[in-house]
Amino acid sequence: GAVVSQHPSWVICKSGTSVKIECRSLDFQATTMFWYRQFPKQSLMLMATSNEGSKATYEQGVEKDKFLINHASLTLSTLTVTSAHPEDSSFYICSASSGPSNQPQHFGDGTRLSIL
Amino acid sequence: GIQVEQSPPDLILQEGANSTLRCNFSDSVNNLQWFHQNPWGQLINLFYIPSGTKQNGRLSATTVATERYSLLYISSSQTTDSGVYFCAGVNYGGATNKLIFGTGTLLAVQP
């Protein structure tokens, strides 16, 4: 149980385009979803936290207009990287939690984004 | 904010060897998870262990919450154990279970 599906797993696109990444909880309702970013040989850094039906909470230094997050249902959250540039190239991972803050987070397989 | 340090940062083992990875927190954490990130980037959930000891096959973990550390034991290591091991704890600074990740331990198991 507790499966999180993330799609796509790999994206290569031109500078200036927008890229949407989907994160779905397949067998549980995800009250809260999280988006992380990981640069090579570094740890995961939380970008934002989203609760179903409300606006996402962004971490300090993360541009909310650049990284649009939508959490419209209890099983789906999306991250859209708008007007992507080469410096946005990274590994993006989502996670989902079923609710109370003492519940573990379950992670998707990540999306490797390369902007040319 | 809370700091999570892991040691050692890098580790090379011969297949069959045992190892202990450590995770130290600068402040109290209410929950703790251990993950294995494989070479393809996938994060595998190993343990959810706020306190006490758990075992799963060749792996076991112990968290001593009062002393702000957790240990991950790998016994009879295999080449498939290679990858990066992260611990992460929840800091209840806000209303959500915000995970703070450690610096990671890069493990290479050689045949």
Q: Tell me, what's the pLDDT at B81?
A: 95
Share of chain B above pLDDT 70, in %: 94
Test A106 with B30 for CB contact under 8 angstroms.
Answer: no
The mean pLDDT of B5-11, rounded to a whole number, is 96
pLDDT at B31 > cutoff 70: yes
Helix (H, G, I), strand (E, B) or coil at A76: strand
Confidence of residue B39 (pLDDT cuts 50, 70, 90): confident
Q: How many CB pairs (< 8 A) connect A and B?
A: 59
Q: Tell me, what's the pLDDT at A100?
A: 63
The mean pLDDT of B1-9, rounded to a whole number, is 90
* Rounded Cα gap, residues A81 and A64, in angstroms: 10
Instruction: Decide if B15 contacts B109 (C-beta within 8 A).
Output: yes
Question: Based on the number of CB atoms within 10 Å of its own CB, is B54 exposed (0-12), middle (13-18) or buried (19 or more)?
Answer: middle
pLDDT at B94 > cutoff 80: no
Test A32 with B50 for CB contact under 8 angstroms.
Answer: no
Q: Tell me, what's the pLDDT at B92?
A: 64
Answer whether A45 touches B (CB < 8 Å): yes
B-chain residue closest to A103, CA distance: B97
Q: Which residues of B touch A112 (CB under 8 A)?
A: 41
Q: Give how far Cα B38 sits from Cα of A4, A16, B27, B81, B83, Å.
A: 17, 31, 28, 8, 5
- Nearest by CB: A104 against B41, B48, B86: B48
Confidence of residue B95 (pLDDT cuts 50, 70, 90): low
Q: Which residues of B touch A32 (CB under 8 A)?
A: 96-97
Helix (H, G, I), strand (E, B) or coil at A2: coil
* Rounded Cα gap, residues A11 and A18, in angstroms: 11
pLDDT at A109 > cutoff 90: yes
Task: For A42-97, write each residue's pLDDT tens digit.
Answer: 999 999 999 888 889 999 999 999 999 998 888 999 999 999 999 999 999 999 98
The mean pLDDT of B46-72, rounded to a whole number, is 95
Q: Tell me, what's the pLDDT at A37?
A: 96
In a mutational test of the B interface, the residue from A6, A34, A101, A106 whose CB has the highest number of chain B CBs within 10 Å is A101
pLDDT at A20 > cutoff 80: yes
Answer whether A92 touches B (CB < 8 Å): no
* Rounded Cα gap, residues B88 and B37, in angstroms: 13
A-chain residue closest to B5, CA distance: A43
Instruction: Decide if A34 contacts A48 (C-beta within 8 A).
Output: yes
pLDDT at B98 > cutoff 80: no
Q: Quote the DSSP letter at residue B67.
A: G
Give the number of other Cβ atoms within 10 Å of residue B67's Cβ: 9
Task: For A22-53, write each residue's pLDDT tens digit.
Answer: 999 999 998 889 999 999 989 999 999 998 88
pLDDT at B59 > cutoff 60: yes
- Nearest by CB: B104 against A43, A51, A91: A43
- Nearest by CB: B97 against A38, A91, A103: A103
